[in-house]
Structure 1
Amino acid sequence: MKSVDGFFTWILSIQNLLEKIEGWYRTRRKYVPWVYMSTFMIGVVLILLKLVMLGELVIISGVVFAGVDNIIGWKHSVRRWLKLCVVYNLFFSLLLAGIVQGMVKGAIADIVFVIIYLLVWVFLSLISNSKVALLVNEIVSGMAATIFTIGTYLVSMALKNKPASSNYLLYFQTDEVFELALANKDALAWEFFGIMGLEMLETVFLSLLPVIGVSALCIIMIKIKGYWVEKNRTPEPEKKIGYSEEATDTY
């Protein structure tokens, strides 16, 4: 299948390119502060010239470049992989979702953010070391599935035979009356308040479903990638982690 061969060849080419970029970066680390300051100033000037989108992209690129030193070697390190894919991806996705919302009228920022975040997660899983990415996604999938299963079970048991929180208006007519009943420590009002809290907690647990699904998808794709690499005898690039005292940090 040429499409599959082409896709994984492209993925491995990105991995090799990133290794070369890290080598290039090592020899130019001393210039990082100057590059960061320059990109920030250029971005501000572009925003003042009403080239807002371009200016924001320049600033984002500068911020990303400034943070490279903290994540260099992420493809081979569980700890740095999590730092990049969880923390850095969070800020990147939030900024990009804001830009998309500004460009596309009517775009729902929350949905755009989730889509970008998960797509970036999948992409980073594929271009990193397969063993590391597989371990991380198995850990994330297992933890999310465990929390989701136990959490939804406990909440469903707590909500069993209880009315829906939206029914509070049948007893208190308005929100103002309900809030007054809470202030007066009315037992029924506090019961509905507890039900609202449990339903919100249930929503939080349900939000883990996309995480479980995407991490499971990553595991499948990484295993397919591993099979393709072995079949075509095209090894992934290997390298020690980090610099100087962190050079042997593989976790």
Structure 2
Amino acid sequence: MDVAVAGGQTATTSHQLDPLQRGLLTVFRSLPRTAESVPGRPTPLVLDVGDVVVLVSGTDRGSPATRDAVLDLATDAGVVVLDDLPGRTPTGRVSLVLATHHTAATAAQHVAVRCRAPVLLPDGRCVTPGPLRLWVRPEPTLTLTRPDGRQDVVLHDLHLRDVADPDDEHPAVVDVFAHPSGSGLLLGMTDGGAGATVALSTGPRCVRVPAPTTATLDGVTRTIAPGTYRIDLAHPPLYRLHAESAARPETG
């Protein structure tokens, strides 16, 4: 997925905003409203009238000011801004997910995967006014599908304790570790003793939880119910919007 290059000026911000939030507003303001399609290349990411942006807010004192600034910029462009509601995925097509503070970055990335939309995170490297080069980069991500069909997003690491192979008549209880990679699903298994295996899988892996146990998703541990769980790469993966100065370095 490509993003068109557009020149942008730094948005007027409150003194409450940190450099990362000011950079976020600079990038958001620089997103093109129109772009020409180039034959043979993906359609550029643009924010057009009626497009939807989901805002994931932090609890810091600068997030309300960041939210207000995003709303002002979006209103001028005719873009619809929705506040993220925990536990609820927005309906309809979402063009962009935006985090107002770095503490909301993980939640925003989870929302982006569920909405199948690119995510824009606070970045302090884009505070200086001037044209920006914008692009979207895919980042491998996992999904853990529960027995009831609901999915959890895993950005980095998954650990399931005391699970078994659902296709084995006499399965051994093992711990499973999973990590997303550009080549596939990296799976590790250990029986709690000396035995351990690591393998790269290009397809999903199902495990059976025979009794209530614990799962750790990106460092957060919780109890999960018995049943069959499916571990897979997210399709599509997380797409993150990046930016850098488009100014060419001077040559002597």
Report if TM-score (shorter chain) is over 0.5.
no
- TM-score interval, smaller chain: under 0.3
TM-score between both structures, scaled by the size of structure 1 = 0.26
Pair member with larger Rg: 1
Higher relative contact order (CA 8 A, sep 6+): 1
Higher helix residue share? 1
Question: What's the TM-score once normalised by structure 2's chain length?
Answer: 0.26
